[in-house]
Amino acid sequence: MASVARPWWQRAVLYQVYVRSFADSDEDGVGDLRGIADRLDYLEWLGADAVWLSPVTVSPDKDWGYDVADYIGVQPAFGGLPALDELVAQAARRDIRVIVDIVPNHTSDRHPWFEESRVSRDSPRRDWYVWADPKPDGSPPNNWRGAFGGGRAWTLDERTGQYYLHNFLPEQPDLNWWNDDVRAAFDDILRFWLDRGIAGFRIDVAHGIVKDRELRDNPDPAISTYNANREDVHDVLRRWRRVVDEYAPERVLLGETWVMELDRLARFYGSGDDELHLAFNFPFTFSDLDAGRLRGIVEATEAALPERAWPVWMLSNHDIVRFPTRMAGGDERKARAALFLLMTLRGTPVLYYGDELGMPQADVPAEQQRDMDGRDGARTPLPWNGGWSDPWLPVAADVPPVAVQRDDDGSFLNFARSLIAQRRANPDLVDGAYESLPSPEGVWAFRRGERTTVAVNLSDEGVELDGLRLRPWEGVAQRR
């Protein structure tokens, strides 16, 4: 059967670069955009088709870029806008695309919009954020909780006597997505980046930007019924899709859809081509490395997604414990099995920098931690050859560096690279439908497309399946 030509973001292997920790070109201890440009040969050698950059926009870094003070300016420490333009141009020459992070849920409290908004109750910018009166006893307007900073979602602004909403830190005030001017401002921001040749956006908190208009109490204070997960968010995503659809070649919307129910996840694809192109699948990411459980999640995802929708899979990111530690408990065989799955499932795989090295979660001593939420262990500098001078976080010593792994045929890095190559060389793995196959306990077998059979042994026993011998934690993909 002739296969339809798939758009680039369905064929691609994506690679998340945590900019501060990827490569440092000016030896100030903080990674930068030139550093990434200098390492494009590595990304090309590995087989990455696109990089997603963690936020590069101007930020006071209370939440490491996720508190934006200027949506169309690039952080000077990363090299500013010229360095980004240069990276995009150099990457394009190697056919590597650049996706940027966008943070629409909240700004920094240093953003001029917020500074203007907080001046007075009748500031023209007042309604760009979510302001509300205290209850008669002076307490916050409702029972919503924030993710950071002791769990408060409201901070009283003394000057005007009202509270403002922040689902994250008090320094991250939430924008009011009921305001049409906010929506229009973001259309312009998207266009600014799209016009510069950016290949798309990873959308921060994509499920949560619209809040209940009446600010109702959450029935269960532990569940964000009204301060996230509103149906109305889909209007915004459809609007964004219409904006990016104006551009050619095709651009991509990749949502951080942090929802644990797969039918809810599926809704972010709209009718299959009018909302997000890709919606991160956290139930998969947080699963144990268990054949039955993983198969269940993948089957349910395949069943829930609309016809034209395309899955996306990842094992690690900058917010969670790195997968060789979390999923594989430090056992390299298990980490290889997990990576094998990432590269053989139907859908776009996303590697987090260091995943290709089998890099475990780093143990960052308390006095060297920088993140208010303790996530530093997943954000340490990539060990190229030990070469970081005075890095902002310690370089972890418990993984062989890139330079050593490149020269070792049996290394995790060469294993990762060969999986990517195998995927690229086999159209079934890129393109083919997914179909579960019967398999003994501890083993997960499936067909991809017409001719490829995949089996992975997620157990400590060797098994035989249709004449195929699988060692413990071994995966095999065969094209007949």
* Binding region for ligand NOJ (CB under 6 A): 63, 66, 103, 168, 204-205, 256, 318-319
Closest separation in Å from C-beta 189 to ligand NOJ: 16
**Helix (H) or strand (E) segment spanning residue 52:** strand 50-53
Closest separation in Å from C-beta 244 to ligand NOJ: 21
Q: Among residues 66 and 113, whose Cβ is nearest to ligand NOJ?
A: 66
Pairwise CA distance, residues 413 & 129, whole Å: 46
Helix 332-344 / helix 412-425 crossing angle, nearest 10 deg: 20
3-state helix, strand, coil in the chain (%, to 5): 30, 15, 50
Closest separation in Å from C-beta 271 to ligand NOJ: 27
Closest separation in Å from C-beta 200 to ligand NOJ: 16
Helices (H) and strands (E) in the chain, counts: 16, 19
Helix 180-195 / helix 233-244 crossing angle, nearest 10 deg: 30
Which of the residues 204, 212, 356, 474 is marked catalytic?
204
Q: Among residues 150 and 219, whose Cβ is nearest to ligand NOJ?
A: 150
Closest separation in Å from C-beta 320 to ligand NOJ: 9
Q: Among residues 167 and 411, whose Cβ is nearest to ligand NOJ?
A: 167
Q: Among residues 125 and 318, whose Cβ is nearest to ligand NOJ?
A: 318
Pairwise CA distance, residues 456 & 37, whole Å: 36
Which of the residues 28, 95, 246, 407 is marked catalytic?
246
Say if CB 126 and CB 120 are below 8 A apart: yes
Report how far apart, in Å, the C-alpha atoms of 45 and of each of 99, 293, 314, 416 are: 19, 34, 20, 11
Nearest alpha carbon to residue 378 among 109, 39, 54, 24: 54
Q: Among residues 212 and 256, whose Cβ is nearest to ligand NOJ?
A: 256
The residue number whose beta carbon is nearest to ligand NOJ equals: 66
Single-letter residue type at 285: T
Say if CB 278 and CB 348 are below 8 A apart: yes
Q: Among residues 168 and 412, whose Cβ is nearest to ligand NOJ?
A: 168
Structural tokens at position 84: 């980004």
Pairwise CA distance, residues 303 & 314, whole Å: 19
Per the annotation, the verdict on 204 as an active-site residue is yes
Report how far apart, in Å, the C-alpha atoms of 279 and of each of 130, 272, 320, 327 are: 26, 11, 17, 21
Pairwise CA distance, residues 472 & 334, whole Å: 9
Closest separation in Å from C-beta 110 to ligand NOJ: 15
Enzyme catalytic residues:
204, 246
